[in-house]
Amino acid sequence: MHPWSRNHSPGLRAFSLLLAVSLVLLSLPGCRRKQPGPTVAPVQVTIAWSRNISASLAILGIEKGYFSRQGARVVSLPFESGKAALERMLAGGADLAVVAETPIAKAILENGQLKVLASIRQSNHDLAIVARKDRGVHAPADLRGKVVGYTKGTAGHYFLDTYCLVNRIALSDDRLIDLSPLQLRSALLDGRVDAVSIWEPHVAVLTEALGPQAVVFREESIYTQNFCVVARPEFIRDHPEQVKAVLEGLFSALDFITRSPAEARELVASYTQVAPSLVSMAFSGHDFDVRLDQALILSIGSECHWFLDSGTVPKRDLPDVLTYFHLEGLLEVRPQAVQIIRDAERGHR
Residue 114 CA to residue 247 CA, distance in Å, equals 16
CATH 3.40.190.80 at 43-123+226-346, yes or no: no
Which residue ranges make up each domain of the chain? 43-123+226-346, 127-217
* Nearest to 121, CA basis, from 198, 249, 197, 224: 224
What local confidence, expressed as pLDDT, does residue 41 receive? Answer: 61
Q: What is the DSSP string of 70-129?
A: TTEEEEEEEESSHHHHHHHHHTTS-SEEEEEHHHHHHHHHTT---EEEEEEEEESSSEEE
Residue 201, preceding peptide bond in cis (omega within 30° of 0): yes
CA dihedral over 152, 130, 228, 296, signed as positive or negative: negative
Residue 142 CA to residue 69 CA, distance in Å, equals 53
Long-range pairs for 337-346 at CB < 8 Å and ≥24 separation?
337/118, 337/290, 337/291, 337/292, 338/291, 338/292, 338/293, 339/291, 339/292, 339/293, 339/294, 340/292, 340/293, 340/294, 340/297, 341/294
Does this chain's domain 43-123+226-346 share its CATH topology with 127-217? yes
Question: Bridge-partner residues for 77, per DSSP?
Answer: 48
What is the H or E stretch that residue 310 is in? Answer: helix 294-310
Tell me the per-residue pLDDT of 250-287, one tens digit each, with 9 for 90 and over.
999 999 999 999 999 999 999 888 888 888 877 877 89
3-class DSSP state for residue 172? coil
SS3 content of the chain, % helix, strand, coil (to 5): 50, 20, 30
CATH code of the domain made up of 127-217: 3.40.190.10
- Give me the tens of pLDDT residue by residue for the chain, a chain 349 residues long: 433 333 444 443 443 433 333 333 333 434 433 344 333 467 899 999 988 889 999 999 999 999 999 888 999 999 999 999 999 999 999 999 999 999 999 999 999 999 999 999 999 999 999 999 999 999 999 999 999 999 999 999 999 999 999 999 999 888 999 999 999 999 999 999 999 999 988 998 999 999 999 999 999 899 999 999 999 999 999 999 999 999 999 999 999 999 999 999 999 999 888 888 888 877 877 899 999 999 999 999 999 999 999 888 999 999 999 999 999 999 999 999 999 987 655 544 4
Residue 318 carries which DSSP code? P
